[in-house]
Amino acid sequence: DLTEEEMIKRVKQIKEKFGRRLLIPGHHYQKDEVIQFADITGDSLQLAQAAAENKEAEYIVFCGVHFMAETADMLTGEGQTVLLPDMRAGCSMADMADIEQTERAWTKLQKMYGDTILPLTYVNSTAAIKAFVGKNGGATVTSSNAEKMLRWSFEQQQRILFLPDQHLGRNTAYNLGVPLDKMAIWNPLTNELEFDGNPEDVIVILWKGHCSVHEKFTVKNIEDLRLAKPDMKIIVHPECSREVVAASDLAGSTKYIIDTIEAAPSGSKWAIGTEMNLVKRIIDQHPDKEIVSLNPFMCPCLTMNRIDLPHLLWSLEGLEEGKVINQIKVDPKTAEHAILALERMLKHV
Chain contacts with ligand 13P (rule: CB under 6 A)? 43-45, 91, 124, 142-144, 211, 239, 253-254
Q: Given candidates 211, 234, 291, 339, which one binds ligand SF4 under the rule CB under 6 A?
A: 211
Query: How far, CA to CA in Å, does 188 sit from each of 138, 205, 241, 327?
Result: 19, 12, 19, 30
Please say which residue, 65 or 183, places its beta carbon nearer to ligand SF4: 65
Q: Smallest distance, Å, CB 169 to ligand SF4? A: 13
Residue 284: φ, ψ to 5°: -60, -35
CA 243 from centre of chain:
21
Give burial (CB, 10 Å; 0-12/13-18/19+) of 284: exposed
Q: Given candidates 11, 45, 91, 258, which one binds ligand SF4 under the rule CB under 6 A?
A: 91
| Contacts for 346 with CB less than 8 Å, ≥ 6 apart | 48, 49, 52
Q: Which of ligand 13P, ligand SF4, none lies near 150, with the C-beta cut-off 5 to 8 A by kind?
A: none
Name the segment binding ligand SF4 (CB under 6 A); options: 1-9, 48-56, 186-194, 208-216: 208-216
Q: Given candidates 213, 272, 291, 316, which one binds ligand SF4 under the rule CB under 6 A?
A: 213
Q: Which of ligand 13P, ligand SF4, none lies near 51, with the C-beta cut-off 5 to 8 A by kind?
A: none
Q: Does 303 bind ligand SF4 (CB under 6 A)?
A: yes
Name the segment binding ligand SF4 (CB under 6 A); options: 91-99, 133-141, 176-184, 327-335: 91-99
* Opening angle at CA 12, ends 276 and 316, nearest 5: 80
In one-letter notation, the amino acid at residue 112 is: M
Q: Which of ligand 13P, ligand SF4, none lies near 86, with the C-beta cut-off 5 to 8 A by kind?
A: none
State whether residue 141 is helix, strand or coil: strand
182 vs 158: CA distance, rounded Å: 12
Please say which residue, 143 or 166, places its beta carbon nearer to ligand 13P: 143
Total residues at interface with ligand SF4 (CB under 6 A): 13
Q: Which of ligand 13P, ligand SF4, none lies near 254, with the C-beta cut-off 5 to 8 A by kind?
A: ligand 13P
Query: How far, CA to CA in Å, does 271 sit from each of 148, 228, 341?
Result: 27, 12, 35
What is the x/- site pattern for ligand SF4, positions 8-47, by CB under 6 A? ---------------------x------------------
Give burial (CB, 10 Å; 0-12/13-18/19+) of 273: buried
Q: Which of ligand SF4, ligand 13P, none lies near 44, with the C-beta cut-off 5 to 8 A by kind?
A: ligand 13P
209 vs 163: CA distance, rounded Å: 8
Q: Given candidates 69, 257, 301, 342, which one binds ligand SF4 under the rule CB under 6 A?
A: 301
Q: Smallest distance, Å, CB 304 to ligand 13P? A: 7
State whether residue 289 is helix, strand or coil: coil
Long-range CB contacts (within 8 A, 24+) of 322-329? 324/59, 324/81, 324/83, 325/83, 326/83, 326/84, 326/85, 326/86, 326/87, 327/81, 327/82, 327/83, 328/62, 328/66, 328/69, 328/70, 328/72, 328/73, 328/82, 328/83, 328/84, 329/73, 329/82
Q: Smallest distance, Å, CB 345 to ligand 13P? A: 12
Q: Does 93 bind ligand SF4 (CB under 6 A)?
A: yes
Q: Does 202 bind ligand SF4 (CB under 6 A)?
A: no
In one-letter notation, the amino acid at residue 199 is: P
Q: Smallest distance, Å, CB 228 to ligand SF4? A: 26
129 vs 6: CA distance, rounded Å: 41
Please say which residue, 18 or 162, places its beta carbon nearer to ligand SF4: 162
Please report, as ranges, the residues that interact with ligand SF4 according to CB under 6 A: 29, 65, 91-93, 124, 211-213, 275, 301, 303-304
